[in-house]
Amino acid sequence: MGRFDRRESPLSVTYEPTSVKDLLVEMKDTAELLIDLSYSAVLHGSPRIAEEVVELEHRMDVLQMRARMSLMLAARSPDEAETLAPVLGVVGAADKISDAAGDIAKIVSEEIGLPDAMRGALTEGVETLVRGTVAPDSGYATRTLADIDLESKTGVRVIAVRRDDDWILNPGPKTRIESGDVALLRGPETGVAEAYPELAGEPFEPEAPVEPAIDDLERAVDSIVLMKDLSELAVDLAYGSVLFNNEALAEEVSNLEIEVDALQSRFEAWTLRAAREADDPVSLRGLIHLGVATEEISDAALEISEGVARDLGVHPVVEMAVQESDEIITRTVVREGSDLAGTSVENGIPTTDVSTSVIAVRRPDDGWMIGHDIDTVLRPGDAVIAKGTRTSAEEFEALAS
């Protein structure tokens, strides 16, 4: 990809002969990072992280325009147009996720604001995400992530790096950190408190949590937290359904979107009730803003998976992108009498010899259990959403059945 001038608005985009596969991969990575950053900007009230959301939103605008240009040139017959239509849907949906993330970040950048008590409640159980500029005398400067070995020492991951106008998404062990890089760190607060000073040359100062003072506001916050988790899961599953032409994953995306819609209705009711008791009802405006944008993300996820749900197939350009991915998302139903029934899951890792990480469980009677804090015993009938290698996914499926 070429560079883009962050000072231009709107951005000037011209056609470049770029691989659609590469554009799709970068759009997927950018969309997922945008969701991470936008919520983190709100949770931590960070204008600096909100600025990074704006930069990535500009980048997504360029990516989606170039992808549309390439797809238009590729469609030379009705048959080709039919097979490319789902890919165009993926492109459009990624752009909608970008716009929704930008709207979430505006709660901070335009000082729409959220009640302090709500931000405190939202932060509970959420990993800390910080943005830091690598100091000239940082012990991490000029070293690779493998050499730094940050995750095993502190539990903190470098999820992205911005170097001038260029982004390194999903940095790997060979990625080298340079002085002046803007690094995005995610992990437990204790680990961030250890890693951030070494990276940025300044102390890490976490915010003190605040307890909600209004019962209805607390219920509204519970609803929006679940909406956020379900929407993020829907995006993961939507991309998985497209990349692997998996109708079962597409069906789960539809289920999640329906549940998010129902949650939004309850969320709006609790917010309006909380407004009666709030000293300043206008302070709840940011909460409503957050709810609308979150629901838009789940709608976009449904749009991503629509081609699979309608049995339109997967275009070869998407299949080529899949070949580069060692990690896949799967949906597995635990069968009666299987080896997986009765297996415990703690922190997303099942107690088996299979290197598959469980990211969500849908139980017919209890609904969804989501996140890294899953602590349950799998039962027959549970629909398990997991990430792992192709080999481990096959072994996991064998255990379930």
Task: Determine the Cα–Cα distance for residues 286 and 227; give it in Å rounded to an integer.
Answer: 15
Question: How many helices (H) and strands (E) would you count in the chain?
Answer: 12, 13
**Nearest-angstrom CA–CA distance, 374 and 123:** 17
Query: In this prediction, what percent of the chain has a pLDDT beyond 90?
Result: 15
Domain ranges of the chain: 20-122+220-319, 125-200, 326-400
- Structure confidence at residue 197 (pLDDT): 93
d(CA 56, CA 34): 7
* Mean pLDDT, rounded, for 341-357: 76
Q: Which residues on adjacent β-strands are paired with residue 389?
A: 327
Residue 332 burial (CB count, 10 A):
23
Asked whether residue 124 carries a pLDDT value surpassing 80, the answer given is no
Cross-strand pairs, 143: 177
Taking the C-alpha atoms of residue 301 and residue 253, their distance in angstroms, rounded to an integer, is 7
Query: Structure tokens of 362?
Result: 């849908």
Q: Minimal CA–CA distance to 387: which of 257, 249, 226? A: 249
Are the folds of 125-200 and 326-400 the same? yes
Q: Confidence band (pLDDT; 50, 70, 90) for 96? A: very high
Query: 37: Cβ–Cβ under 8 A, 6 or more apart, which residues?
Result: 49, 52, 53, 56, 101, 105, 129, 184
Asked whether the predicted pLDDT for residue 6 surpasses 50, the reply is no
Cα separation, 118 vs 271, in Å, equals 11
191, two tokens: 């680990």
| Correct CATH for 20-122+220-319 of 1.20.58.220, 3.50.50.60, 3.60.20.40, 3.40.190.10 | 1.20.58.220
With 60 as the cut, is the pLDDT of residue 189 above it?
yes
Given the candidates 2.30.40.10, 3.30.70.1450, 3.40.140.10, 3.30.390.10, the CATH classification of the domain at 326-400 is 3.30.70.1450
Q: Which residue has the higher pLDDT, 223 or 335?
A: 335
Q: What is the DSSP string of 139-186?
A: TTTTEEHHHHTHHHHHS-EEEEEEETTEEEES--TTPEE-TT-EEEEE
Q: According to the model, what pLDDT value does residue 372 have?
A: 56
Burial class of residue 56 (count of CB atoms within 10 Å of its CB; 0-12, 13-18, 19+): buried
Judge contact between 352 and 340, C-beta under 8 A. Answer: yes
How far is it, in rounded angstroms, from Cα 368 to Cα 60? 31
**3 state DSSP class of 114:** coil
Q: Is the pLDDT of residue 5 over 70?
A: no
Question: Per-residue confidence at 123, pLDDT binned at 50, 70, 90?
Answer: low
Q: Which of 14-23, 140-149, 323-332 has the highest mean pLDDT?
A: 140-149
- Are 272 and 109 a contacting pair, CB within 8 Å? no
And the tokens for 252?
Answer: 């789960």
Assign a CATH topology to domain 125-200.
Alpha-Beta Plaits (3.30.70)
